[in-house]
């Protein structure tokens, strides 16, 4: 009864916040321990998402390409009380991903949430100098990586009651954003990163259409309307938002209820144009 009452209150608050033009981050937890795999979880957005979901009592499978850094991050989270398992995971390697699946299966027979967070910025090579090799290296992490990991973990996701997949994208992958000359990202002349995130957005939509029982959604850690982005290693910590603010939409999508949306693209303020 208490859970029903809490849900009703949260829904009422959410409706009221929408009427006022604001968003309400509603976090619901299951009575059974929820499991999540986060790629690139040893730092930045991935680590903060792991910390926040760990505080909810979730089992966190923390994916990290570098085993030493991953273990250090996992130890830090565990010291804070999180139930965390470090998973050595290179999203560009079929063998590494297969090993990750085997490790996760030793701990659980289902995966409730997959957060495809691992990303590569590339070298910001101007279009005039960009080569297929440069673009391919970025796509290997930002596009093929999420496909490789998602495909490998689909059986575990399907086994969950209401599985969710969160794609960590970027405002730079939005055609709507790129068509707006006031957006700062339009001044960053490169091909690899922005096009890889645009591809990831389309992949998200196609997955959502093909798997109606799995919620596939994309998010950007910035505030598109306010021309803000999150401070991470990828931008030398020059962003105006904290990693906690940047992970707000990750947490929102990761904690969706069974009747939540699928095939959407959001930031912490609301929907973002594709």
Angle ∠(266,115,44) on CA atoms, nearest 5: 85
DSSP reduced 3-state for 92: coil
Catalytic residues: 170, 197
Closest CA to 198 of 215, 222, 177: 177
Closest CA to 24 of 273, 258, 248: 248
CB count in 10 Å sphere of residue 3: 11
Angle ∠(250,28,226) on CA atoms, nearest 5: 35
Residue 47 half-sphere exposure toward CB, CA atoms < 13 A: 19
Q: Compute the residue count for the chain.
A: 274
């Amino acid at each position: 009864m208490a859970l029903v009452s809490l849900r009703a209150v949260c829904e009422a608050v959410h409706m009221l916040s929408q009427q006022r033009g604001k968003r309400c981050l509603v976090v619901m937890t299951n009575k059974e321990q929820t499991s999540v795999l986060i790629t690139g979880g040893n730092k930045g957005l991935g680590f903060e998402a792991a910390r926040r979901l760990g505080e909810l009592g979730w089992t966190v499978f923390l994916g990290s390409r570098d085993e030493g850094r991953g273990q250090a991050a996992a130890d830090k989270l565990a010291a804070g009380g999180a139930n965390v398992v470090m998973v050595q995971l290179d999203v560009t390697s079929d063998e590494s991903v297969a090993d990750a699946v085997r490790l996760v299966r030793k701990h659980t027979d289902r995966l409730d949430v997959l957060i495809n967070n691992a990303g590569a910025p590339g070298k910001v090579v101007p279009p005039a100098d960009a080569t297929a090799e440069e673009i391919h290296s970025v796509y290997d992490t930002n596009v093929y990586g999420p496909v490789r990991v998602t495909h490998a973990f689909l059986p575990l996701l399907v086994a969950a009651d209401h599985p969710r997949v969160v794609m960590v994208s970027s405002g730079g992958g939005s055609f709507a954003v790129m068509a707006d000359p006031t957006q700062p990202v339009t001044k960053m002349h490169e091909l690899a990163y922005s096009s890889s995130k645009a591809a990831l957005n389309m992949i998200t939509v196609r997955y959502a259409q093909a798997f109606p029982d799995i919620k596939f959604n994309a998010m950007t850690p910035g505030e598109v309307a306010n021309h803000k982005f999150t401070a991470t290693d990828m931008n030398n910590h020059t962003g105006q938002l904290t990693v906690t603010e940047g992970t707000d939409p990750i947490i929102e999508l990761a904690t969706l209820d069974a009747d939540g949306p699928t095939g959407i693209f959001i930031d912490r303020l609301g929907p973002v144009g594709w």
